[in-house]
A and B are shown apart, each in its own frame.
Chain A
């Protein structure tokens, strides 16, 4: 663990990193001026997954709790914003509702579930995800139940609306990335990593492990719920099976593995690489895209279980040592 007062070289590297990050965000923010609708949609999807993955990073990457069914908060966010808008709330208020409701659910359900460890926690989140689908169907009423929920249409014409959603999703990705970077520098961030590396030891050091874990999951859920809330407005019709699709969580998990767990920029890199890969695949194999995605998961886990940067580095090292010897 590096000390909080960083060495000058590290500080310059951090400054360079944030300069690049700001430049990238600026370019992406101006990009809609040049992009056609297809690429606008692809990039909006990338930002959405980057945000979901960043949310997953907080609980999996930083805290070491493998919330495999984290997509449940995507669904809760989508439904919170959908219901709020149906009741007449404007879009920004609906987004606040999405974040607050998802964080609240995680805060409540986290107290019992986060006492579980390893596999138990992982499958408890999957069970939560499955239960949420039926819960929404059962509640019915204002959620629309099994029939789904159409959201009120925007007054904006489609062109500006999609550009606005693009920018909101981009903001989600940027803010969640900055938030993760900020958490890492705070005592809270050190507490999370202490829990990940040895929970009992963290407790001995005086960290209230349960409260810290619940707070981390609530932040994770809030970020994920934000993406779900924007998504609901974007596609204008949500139903339980698509809003709580476990595949959303799994895809984010793959992006996290690919990009590197517990890193700041990893989730964003993973989202870009996997989503562009998926877009290319979708175009080629409309019939069998699930097969291709499933095989992609297996291949990534076999080839790059520690992320593409580590895999790339070891590949370069192997190449160098082979050519150095020859």
Chain B
């Protein structure tokens, strides 16, 4: 049973990692704590649900759709609202993004009611057995795709011009503007990319968890803890910390009982801040100083 719990934790850990990358990047690059991030996850899940239910599209095939839709939404919100807020006060971004989250959750509640929905693909029930540990196929797929997307985003940051511009802005905003980079455009790009990753998370989460308007909020504590544990703005940190968090959660559930998730998460959060406030892979990012 312990091995089963460990396997479950590791498989969920991949999803937790990808759920956090966008949030962590946005915080690292522009110093904004985006509470609407979990709303993007929820919208991604509903896009996958809608396409599955009404068009019969496979949940995995709908990932690009929810990523594209969330990129557009994240980009637009940054240009229309958040770039203006950043000019006045960074901490205001907390309130504003909370408001945006309220709007998204309530809009979905009205459109789809708050009933619990589910995405049951043809392979939802199949699983493989390794050394007596049962591994559901959808969880394996979700974990594998999460890591793939995480690596792809890492490569995007390192090896493309746009990615290099994002990193440059994160490291030093003033100098990057001297190099001819427009920070507000980079912020919009980062916000869009972060929202797109959240959308992908939602699509993957819809295969594992019930789809409902409040589902995004269940990721919030995980996202906080992993961001701080991995080091703000670090993609590789998010992925490693995601697995650690998944494992800790699974073991907490196994040894303590199912409902200790937030309490253990909060304990881990305090522990990291006390022992290693810069996180596992923390570096000097702009958001750090905000």
A residues whose Cβ falls under 8 Å from a Cβ of B: 66, 68, 112-113, 116, 118-120, 122-124, 126-128, 130-131, 133-135, 137-138, 246-247, 250, 253-254, 257, 287-291, 293-298, 301-302, 305-306
Contacts and interface: CB of A to CB of B under 8 A. Distances in A.
B89 A294 contact: no
A288 B110 contact: yes
A306 B92 CA distance: 10
Interface string B41-57: 00000000000000000
Given A128-B266, A130-B220, A305 B85 contact: yes
Given A290-B105, A294-B103, A294-B106, A250 B85 contact: no
B151 to A, nearest CB: 27
Given A119-B27, A122-B33, A134 B85 contact: no
A305 B81 CA distance: 13
A291 B103 contact: yes
A52 to B, nearest CB: 15
A130 B96 contact: no
B106 A290 contact: yes
20 contacts: A119-B33, A120-B228, A124-B273, A126-B220, A131-B263, A134-B259, A134-B263, A250-B95, A287-B110, A290-B102, A290-B103, A290-B109, A291-B107, A293-B102, A294-B106, A295-B103, A298-B96, A298-B99, A301-B95, A305-B89
Given A119-B290, A297-B99, 9 more contacts: A66-B94, A120-B277, A131-B266, A134-B263, A289-B106, A298-B81, A301-B85, A301-B92, A302-B81
Given A120-B228, A120-B273, A134-B263, A294 B101 contact: yes
Contacts, number: 116
B113 to A, nearest CB: 11
Contacts of B245: none
Contacts of A246: 98
Contact of A68 (B88, B94, B269): B94
Nearest to B269: A127
B100 interface: yes
A122 B90 CA distance: 12
A138 B263 contact: yes
A164 to B, nearest CB: 33
Given A124-B269, A126-B224, A294-B100, A257 B95 contact: yes
B95 A138 contact: no
Contacts of A128: 266
B3 interface: no
Contacts of A123: 33, 224
Contacts of B225: 127
Contacts of A113: 270
Contacts of B91: 66, 118-119, 122
Given A250-B98, A305-B85, A130 B266 contact: yes
A288 B208 CA distance: 29
B283 interface: no
Q: Which 8 residue pairs are nearest across A and B when measured between Cβ atoms? A: A297-B99, A290-B106, A294-B102, A294-B103, A131-B266, A294-B99, A134-B262, A305-B88
Interface in B248-266: 259-263, 265-266
Contacts of B99: 250, 293-298, 301
